[in-house]
Structure 1
Amino acid sequence: MLKWVVLVVGIGANAGASILIKIAVSRIETPGISWLDIALSPSLVVGLILYGITFAAYALALAHLPLHVVHPVLTAGAIAVVAASSVFVFNEFVSLPVLIGIMLVSLGVILITIGTKQ
């Protein structure tokens, strides 16, 4: 059970990192904001820390689950969370084909996890 919790933590950390880095770099168009300001911004720093947590969770999950499960679940899970977050956090438009694709990817992840005997 703990191995799946670690994987979910990895998904959340991965998605959180992407969202925070998007927040940090979205300020680049603001007058007076330099790349140094962005590099030192809390959202970018925390985003990078979350990527480190993602890597640690990925490595820990690999110690207990097969690669063919860990990689697709972590990647696809993060894709689904980031896509949903992009709508709610950044008001980005997600088309119907993209939504269908996310649902198909999610279905694939469900089938992978159900088919895993570990």
Structure 2
Amino acid sequence: MAMNDKYAEKDPDRSEIDALEGPTIVEFGAPWCGFCIAGQKPLATAFAAYPKVRHIKIEDGRGRRLGRSFKVKLWPTLIFLNNGTEVARLVRSTDAKAIGEALQQIAGGP
């Protein structure tokens, strides 16, 4: 699975996200967003220890329903899911340690 560096071409339905099995990070942001760009290195650092976690990168914005269904207000928002259930959430995090701790909550030890 590993970290994904490209935004999904088509947003999945919320029901698809809720039905996912196993640990997943859903990242909401935009390719032009400075905060999102700044957050990629710490995310990659933390993600290196969790290659089996699914990473879904969703471009968010006006009229995008998936982000609204998760009540996303700022980018990037990282939603940590286990079997489709939200376990943790980080907003505008540039702290690899905090991201790693949230990953551990959904995936166990590295």
The two structures have a TM-score, normalised by structure 1, of 0.26
Q: Per residue, is there more strand in 1 or in 2?
A: 2
Q: Which has the higher contact order (CA 8 A, sep 6+)?
A: 2
